Structure 1
C-alpha cells in the first residue's frame, strides 16, 4: 500500500468511498443526500491537501489535512479520513493516520484536533486514542444518529 497526494483522476474513486459513508449518515455531519459535486467540493475544499491510499491501483482510503482555524489557531490541523468498504479491517485508517501525523509537522502544524467525532464511532475513537489523542471535550447530544438518535460528539486533540 502507498499513500500519495490525490490527483484529479482520483475524484471518481474518492467519491466511490465517500458516497456510502456520507449516505450512511452515522459518522460525518454531512447531509446524507449530498450530491457528488458538493461532496467532492467539500472533501477537496480550499486549503485542504487530499491524500489517497492505494494498493495495486485500487483506492483503499482517502484523507484530507487542513488548518483547523485561521489566525492564532492556524498551527493546529484537522483531518478527515474515509476507507473503502473493501479495505475495512486492513489497517488502512491506521496507515493514513500515521501518514497524517508524519506530514503535519512538515506543513508547520504543532497539534492535530478532531472537532466532531461521533461517540458511536468506537473503532475510530480507539484508533485515535491508541495514537495518543485525548478526548478534551464532549458535546452532549450534538449528533443525530440515524439509528440511535441524539448521541454525543467528542473533541479529540494531540500535540505533535
Structure 2
C-alpha cells in the first residue's frame, strides 16, 4: 500500500465510498445530503493542510485522510485528521496506516498533539483503533450525535500528545 498526496483526479475514485459513508449518517457530522461538489471542497484541502489517498499496487484507491490544524491562532499547534476507508477494503489495515501517516505528518509539521473533536461513540472500530494508537477520550458530549439506528449517542473528544 502506498499513501500519497491526493489530487483532483482521485476524487472520482473517492466520491463513491465517501458518499456511501456520509449518506449512511453513522460516523461523520456532515449533512447526509452532501453534494459531490460540497464533499470535494470539504475533503480536498489546500496547503498547508493535506489530503492523501492510500492506493494498492494497481492504483486502486483504498481510503483517504485529510489533516489540518484543529484551531487557528494560539491553538493552531494542535492537529486534527479525518479518515475514510472504502468499505470494500475495510479490515485490511488501511485505516491504521492512514492514521499512523497523519500522526507522522503532524509530528513533522511541528504540531504538539492531535485531537479529534467528534468521534461517534458507536463507531467502535474507530474508537478501538484510535485508542490502540495512543489516543484517549478526554470527554464525551452526551447525545451529541443523532445516529440513524441508535438514536442520540455521544461524541468523543479524543486526544494524543505527539
Which TM-score bucket, shorter chain as reference? Answer: over 0.9
**Hey, which bits of structure 1, 4+ residues long, moved more than 6 A?**
none
1:109 aligns with 2:111: yes
Paired residue total: 160
- The 5 A counterparts of 1:11-160 are 11-47=11-47, 48-55=49-56, 56-160=58-162
Please report how far the alpha carbon of residue 19 of structure 1 lies from its aligned counterpart in structure 2 after TM superposition: 0.6
State the distance in 2 between where 1:44 and 1:137 align: 29
Contact 2:22 2:31 (8 Å CA) reproduced: yes
* Structure 1, gaps ≥5 residues long: none
Q: Superposition RMSD on alpha carbons, in Å?
A: 0.9
Please report how far the alpha carbon of residue 137 of structure 1 lies from its aligned counterpart in structure 2 after TM superposition: 1.1
Contact 2:78 2:112 (8 Å CA) reproduced: yes
User: What TM-score does the superposition give when structure 2 sets the normalisation length?
Assistant: 0.96
State the distance in 2 between where 1:143 and 1:159 align: 26
Please report how far the alpha carbon of residue 45 of structure 1 lies from its aligned counterpart in structure 2 after TM superposition: 3.8
State the distance in 2 between where 1:45 and 1:95 align: 20
User: What TM-score does the superposition give when structure 1 sets the normalisation length?
Assistant: 0.97
Please report how far the alpha carbon of residue 46 of structure 1 lies from its aligned counterpart in structure 2 after TM superposition: 4.8
* Structure 2, gaps ≥5 residues long: none
Q: What SS does structure 1 have at the residue aligned with 2:116?
A: strand
Contact 2:45 2:66 (8 Å CA) reproduced: no
